[in-house]
Amino acid sequence: MPSPAGALLATSDLHVGYAENRPLVERLRPTSDQDWLVVAGDVGEVAADIEWALRLLSGRFATVVWAPGNHELWTPRQDPVQLRGVQRYEYLVRLCRSLGVLTPEDPYPVWTGPGGPVRVVPLFLLYDYSFRPAGTSTKAEALARAHATGVVCTDEYLLHPDPYPSRDAWCAARTAETERRLRDCPPDPPLLLVNHYPLVRDPTSVLRYPEFAQWCGTERTADWHRRFRVAGVVYGHLHIPRTTRYDGVRFEEVSIGYPREWSRRGHPRGLLRQILPAPASPGLGIVPSS
């Protein structure tokens, strides 16, 4: 259990566009009035839904830090907010600021509670089709394989990269800019990187459809957990909640997932994952009382 002095908790993939997921979000409560919450993307698709969830959470947790998922960046036809690409991202950043939620565009906050100090770094990097299926060596080949097998991410139709020519070009720009910012961070305190996608490819090896990995990150970040002084990595997107270690660095996949997923397997790791202080047993999550 978290100490009375507060805990840094994490979740992702709230997908509040599904009515069944809203009661889960309503159950997300801090364990003390000093808890921070990290939200690693895929809150929802429609701007009003995203606002509903982030407003609820920002009213409960001392600090909420958000990194965008691919779903927030969709422009669904039914959304009155029809902004695309960078303009949509900037709209969401403004929305977060109006709620007091921290984004990748803000100075990185430092968690000084139990397990700290740690600099909390929300990232917005996207993906670039470099996690390609075996036997393919270009983005075109990877996409062709996906279309042939029928495993095509909806991003191809709803996540517009405007004004960039492609999602991978947007990813390249974001990655370069973020890398510069990380290089400028002092070595102390260490970083807690929060990204919608795993920074390394390894976690995608357990995907049911390997063709889907091309929408799950970028090789550009493969060594970030070694190059920078990283205390841990929080990610989502895969909807495979678990804890793994790469080169000794703790990676936490903290997704809640779709109703069709959690109705089958439940939430054995809880709805909120305790990141700091690092739990003695990494198998334990926090299941808020209903």
3-state class percentages of the chain: helix first, strand second, coil last, to nearest 5:
35, 15, 50
Tell me if residue 40 falls in helix, strand or coil. coil
Query: What is the smallest separation between the CB atom of 256 and Fe ion, expressed in angstroms?
Result: 9
Contact map string, positions 10 to 39, toward Fe ion, x by CB under 5 A? ---x--------------------------
Look up residue 158 and give its two tokens.
């709803």
Site membership for Fe ion, residue 119 (CB under 5 A) = no
Site membership for Fe ion, residue 2 (CB under 5 A) = no
Site membership for Fe ion, residue 269 (CB under 5 A) = no
Tell me if residue 36 falls in helix, strand or coil. strand
Site membership for Fe ion, residue 70 (CB under 5 A) = yes
Site membership for Fe ion, residue 273 (CB under 5 A) = no
86: left (phi over 0), alpha (psi -120 to 50) or beta: alpha
Look up residue 223 and give its two tokens.
């060594």
Candidates 35, 42, 49, 72: give the one binding Fe ion (CB under 5 A). 42
Beta carbon nearer to Fe ion, 132 or 237: 237
Sign of the alpha-carbon dihedral angle for 31, 37, 41, 42? positive
Q: Please state, in angstroms and rounded to a whole number, the distance separating the CA atoms of residues 179 and 240.
A: 27
Beta carbon nearer to Fe ion, 7 or 199: 199
Q: Residue 211: which H helix or E strand, with range? A: none
Angle at 202 between CA 39 and CA 150, to 5 degrees: 85
Angle at 66 between CA 65 and CA 67, to 5 degrees: 130
Beta bridge partners of 252: 234, 243
Q: Name which of 145, 122, 158 is nearest 213 in CA terms.
A: 145
Beta carbon nearer to Fe ion, 145 or 237: 237
Query: What is the smallest separation between the CB atom of 211 and Fe ion, expressed in angstroms?
Result: 16
Site membership for Fe ion, residue 253 (CB under 5 A) = no
Candidates 2, 30, 44, 69: give the one binding Fe ion (CB under 5 A). 69
Interface with Fe ion in residues 199-238 (CB under 5 A): 237
Query: What is the smallest separation between the CB atom of 18 and Fe ion, expressed in angstroms?
Result: 11
Site membership for Fe ion, residue 51 (CB under 5 A) = no
Query: What is the smallest separation between the CB atom of 196 and Fe ion, expressed in angstroms?
Result: 6
Query: What is the smallest separation between the CB atom of 152 and Fe ion, expressed in angstroms?
Result: 14
Beta carbon nearer to Fe ion, 113 or 257: 257
| Count of residues near Fe ion by CB under 5 A | 5
Beta carbon nearer to Fe ion, 7 or 146: 146
Beta carbon nearer to Fe ion, 109 or 270: 270
Query: What is the smallest separation between the CB atom of 126 and Fe ion, expressed in angstroms?
Result: 11
Query: What is the smallest separation between the CB atom of 42 and Fe ion, expressed in angstroms?
Result: 4
Long-range (24+ apart) CB contacts under 8 A made by 269-274 are 269/241, 269/242, 271/11, 271/24, 271/27, 271/28, 272/9, 272/10, 272/11, 272/28, 272/37, 273/9, 273/10, 273/11, 273/234, 273/241, 274/2, 274/7, 274/8, 274/9
Beta carbon nearer to Fe ion, 7 or 171: 171
Question: Which residues of the shown chain bind Fe ion in the complex (CB under 5 A)?
Answer: 13, 42, 69-70, 237
